[in-house]
Amino acid sequence: MNRLSVIALALREIDPDVRTPFVVEGASHVLLDTFALPYVPLPVSYAMTDGGVWAPWTEIERSSLQLQISRSVLKSIGPQAVVFDCLPTPAFSQAVIESGTPIVLCLREMRDLARYLAEVCGLLHHVKLIIVPHRPGTFVLPRNLRVRTCFVGQIARPVVRKKHIQDPEQPNIVITGGGGGYPGTVDFYNLALLAVADLRSRAPQVKAQLITGPLFRDWHRLRLVESISVLPFEADMPATLGRSDLVICQAGYNTVAELELLGTRTILVPAERQWDDQFARAERVSHGRSNFRVFRGKTAAELSILASGALSSDLPDVSPVEADGGMKAAHLIYEMIR
């Protein structure tokens, strides 16, 4: 949703008359509301397939309902193109294929590309344009897909990079796990909270806040720590990250992309993901950008020591990276529908 939001805003910049409604499972998760982007909700797939409140309906009835809603949404909106990001909702993608609407796929690097391509092979046959939000050469697609593929570089929200002067009397740490909805994110939050608490026991002037993300639900498992504030959502996350002296985060695509632009001191704590290789991303970006360090330990005490060393180090002077991937993608889509 983050990447597609950047593309949607770029399309509006190209042509203010372009309409970019989102079709999302559940709700906008605050992000689309923040950007003033319209959206239409669909039933949440996992809630319907896992039974629960939908248990009285048969699997066929549930699938039919999802498909009919998707068809109705498409008929009402009448889009000239539909842009998917990586793993589209099966029912909605089926409805789009049936409608014959041109399809664009935003495809980022995958842990197991061959497995992913096999998973979405039914959709790939109908994709007209593949946008890759990485630099050329980051990974190689099969020959039959290359002719439809454009590497546009990082897609991230625009940031205003300002010279940050650390206050040695009151350094500020931000903990973030991106959207916060991936299973197990609470374990990362608890590790980071304990590490910062350990750091504050030696340096009580350190301020810290945890921004859980709008998708976070494991509140009952979160181990709150005294004097560390907790926010569920931050509307202008790039500005918050830019004002911090240290960010402790996982290695998701969007978070890393924004921190590359900002140049903020960052400790990456990569985590296992089904499709995303955060460990490879963390190693790659830490070798190329001096503001990144990778946590390879296991305990909060080890993370605390790494955070202390990062705060006491000189602020890295890293060169800015290009952040025009969203605009490049928008131009490709705009020219396609024209």
Got the DSSP string for 179-205? T--STTHHHHHHHHHHHHHHHHHH-TT
Question: What is the CATH number for 52?
Answer: 3.40.50.2000
Is 317 part of any domain? no
Q: What is the pLDDT of residue 162?
A: 64
Tell me whether residue 97 is in a domain: yes
> Does residue 318 sit within a domain?
no
Q: Are residues 110 and 249 in the same domain?
A: no
141/230 same-domain check: no
In a domain, 45, yes or no: yes
115 in the same domain as 217: no
Looking at the structure, do residues 149 and 295 belong to the same domain, yes or no? no
179 and 62 part of one domain? no
The one-letter amino acid code at 7 reads I
What residues contact residue 201 under an 8 Å CB cut-off, 6+ apart? none
Please, are residues 269 and 249 in contact by the beta-carbon 8 Å criterion?
Answer: yes
Q: What are phi and psi of 210, to 5 degrees?
A: -105, 125
The answer to whether residues 297 and 246 belong to one domain is yes
Identify whether residues 137 and 241 lie together within a single domain.
no
The reply to whether 236 falls in a domain is yes
Total of domains in the chain: 2
Q: Which residues of the chain have pLDDT under 70?
A: 28-29, 51, 160-168, 320
Q: Could you tell me if 251 and 122 lie in one domain?
A: no
The reply to whether 162 falls in a domain is: no
The answer on 141 and 67 residing in a single domain is yes
Q: What is the pLDDT of residue 288?
A: 83
Within a domain: 319 = no
pLDDT at site 51: 64
- Cα separation values, 23 from 41, 64, 87, 280, 291, Å: 6, 18, 13, 31, 36
Q: Which residue, chain included where needed, has tokens 């990144």?
A: 292
Would you say residue 165 lies in a domain? no
pTM: 0.89
Whether residues 131 and 71 fall in one domain:
yes
Q: What is the pLDDT of residues 287-332, one digit of tens each?
A: 988 899 999 999 999 999 999 999 998 877 777 677 799 999 999 9
Q: Is the same domain home to 189 and 277?
A: yes
Residues 149 and 74 occupy one common structural domain: yes
Separation between Cα atoms, residue 309 and residue 311, nearest integer Å? 6
Tell me the residue range of the domain where 188 lies. Answer: 172-312
d(CA 277, CA 262): 22
Contact between 65 and 45 under an 8 Å Cβ cutoff? The reply is no
